[in-house]
């Protein structure tokens, strides 16, 4: 390109950019506004659900509501104590099973498995498991555990829920560990630290907040499950009576209350829904605090 040509070329470029300047600014603003509209559109349903639940449910809340078993049908007396207790027990037990298995499987896939046939198959099956309808898992729980033990039971519910939760924990753990910079693992190797220690004390602690988020997602998911619980813990108006017996749970109770033809039952249902939302929210906040405690924010470029 001669210097004259270059000058010409610059002129053309300059003119073109000037011509497009207005269009560019307009496009820029349009995209920003569109993004904002989308955010609002996503928040409106969430906000309206929350508002509706609070509006209808708050009036039902009382000490008796939280602790007492349900009174006689249609009386509007008693509460949802057994359902709260049952949800804590079943979801708690399910997370105690799913968390270690899921986290360790995620660690295996990210740190030890490589890209061979076996890990590929495991990843594939795990992805399928996340998409499995929960009623199917409930039926499997019914056929295997309920029929085997001869009774609806906490065990059956917890195991079914843990199968729903596990693949979520596996995926999130693997993905989070993968974004821990390789340089940190190398720094560990260079200090003569064993791979197991590097994985547990350096990689996992660096990824802690992400892994905890995954566990939180999993718990939130199973806390709201209803279908598999119908097939496994059945639901009862009584308090917990042992791991081999039936138990109540909030989603089940909400469903039962909603299908009753009494105003008072519906009010209880709203109240139960509010409690379930608050419990999931509280659990998530708790995990956030745990993630922040004694940890420092990871810089992405590290």
Partner 1 sequence: MTVEEVMREEEAAVAGPIETTDRYKVVIKEINAWFGRKQALKNINLNIKDKSVTAFIGPSGCGKTTLIRCLNRMHEMTPNARVDGQVLVDGADIYDKSIDPVVVKRRVGMVFQKPNPFPTMSISDNVAAGLKLNGIKDKNLIAEVVEESLKGAALWEEVRTELEKPGMSLSGGQQQRLCIARALAMQPEVLLMDEPTSALDPLASSKIEELVRSLKEHVTIVIVTHNMQQAARVSDFTAFMYLGEMIEYGATSQIFKNPEKELTERYISGKFG
Question: Taking Cα atoms as reference points, which of 186, 183, 191, 195 lies closest to residue 108?
Answer: 195
Q: Which stretch binds partner 1 (CB under 8 A): 11-19, 130-138, 176-184, 264-272?
A: 176-184
Of 196, 209, 171, 206, give the one whose Cα is nearest residue 302: 206
Q: What are phi and psi of 234, to 5 degrees?
A: 70, -50
Q: Exactly one of 36, 44, 191, 281 binds partner 1 (CB under 8 A); which one?
A: 191
Of 156, 168, 145, give the one whose Cα is nearest residue 94: 156
Residue in 91, 140, 170, 198 binding partner 1, rule: CB under 8 A: 198
State which of residues 181, 267, 283, 284 lies at the interface with partner 1 (CB under 8 A).
181
User: Given the structure tokens 């078993």, which residue do they identify?
Assistant: 69
What residue has token string 């804590």? 88
Q: Which stretch binds partner 1 (CB under 8 A): 78-86, 124-132, 181-189, 213-221?
A: 181-189
- Cβ-in-10-Å burial (0-12, 13-18, 19+) of 149 comes to middle
Rounded to the nearest angstrom, the gap between the alpha carbon of residue 43 and the centroid of all alpha carbons in its chain is 18
By rule CB under 8 A, what string of x and - marks binding of each residue 201-240 to partner 1? xx--xx-x--------------------------------
Indicate the residue among 95 and 199 with the shorter CB distance to partner 1. 199
298 binds partner 1 (CB under 8 A): yes
Total binding residues toward partner 1, as defined by CB under 8 A: 26
Report d(CA 245, CA 232) in Å as an integer. 10
Interface pick for partner 1 out of 106, 138, 188, 246 (rule CB under 8 A): 188
Examine residue 190 and tell whether it contacts partner 1 (CB under 8 A).
Answer: yes
Binding segment toward partner 1, per CB under 8 A, in 2-10, 68-76, 191-199, 278-286: 191-199
Q: How wide is the angle at C-alpha 70 spanned by C-alphas 249 and 73, nearest 5°?
A: 115
Closest approach of partner 1 to the CB of residue 194, in Å? 6
Q: How many residues does the chain have?
A: 302
Phi, psi of 237 (to 5 degrees): -95, 10
- Segment near partner 1 (CB under 8 A), from 5-13, 49-57, 90-98, 197-205? 197-205
List residues binding partner 1 (CB under 8 A).
114, 181, 183-184, 186-194, 197-198, 201-202, 205-206, 208, 295-299, 302
């Amino acid at each position: 390109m001669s210097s004259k040509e270059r000058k010409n070329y610059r002129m053309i470029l300059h003119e073109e950019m000037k011509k497009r300047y207005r269009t560019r600014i307009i496009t820029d603003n349009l995209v920003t506004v569109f993004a904002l509209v989308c955010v609002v559109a996503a928040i409106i349903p969430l906000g309206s659900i929350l508002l509706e639940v609070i509006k209808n449910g708050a009036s039902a809340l009382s000490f008796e509501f939280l602790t007492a078993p349900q009174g006689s049908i249609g009386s509007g007396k008693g509460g949802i104590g057994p359902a709260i207790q049952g949800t804590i027990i079943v979801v708690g037990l399910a997370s105690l099973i799913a968390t270690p298995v899921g986290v360790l499987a995620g660690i295996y896939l990210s740190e030890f498995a490589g890209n061979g046939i076996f890990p590929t198959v495991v990843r594939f099956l795990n992805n399928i498991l996340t998409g499995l309808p929960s009623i199917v898992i409930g039926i499997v729980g019914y056929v295997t555990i309920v029929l085997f033990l001869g009774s609806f039971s906490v065990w059956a519910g917890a195991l079914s829920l843990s199968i729903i939760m596990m693949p979520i924990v596996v995926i999130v753990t693997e993905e989070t560990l993968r974004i821990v910079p390789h340089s940190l693992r190398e720094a560990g190797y260079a200090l003569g630290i064993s791979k197991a220690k590097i994985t547990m004390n350096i990689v996992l602690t660096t990824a802690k907040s992400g892994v905890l988020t995954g566990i939180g997602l999993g718990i939130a998911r199973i806390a709201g499950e209803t279908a598999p619980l119908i097939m496994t813990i059945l639901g009862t108006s009584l308090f917990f009576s042992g791991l081999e017996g039936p138990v109540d749970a909030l989603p089940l109770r909400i469903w039962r209350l909603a299908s009753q033809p009494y105003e008072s039952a519906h009010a209880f249902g709203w109240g139960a829904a509010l409690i379930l939302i608050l419990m999931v929210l509280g659990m998530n906040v708790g995990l956030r605090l745990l993630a922040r405690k004694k940890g420092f924010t990871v810089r992405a470029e590290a």
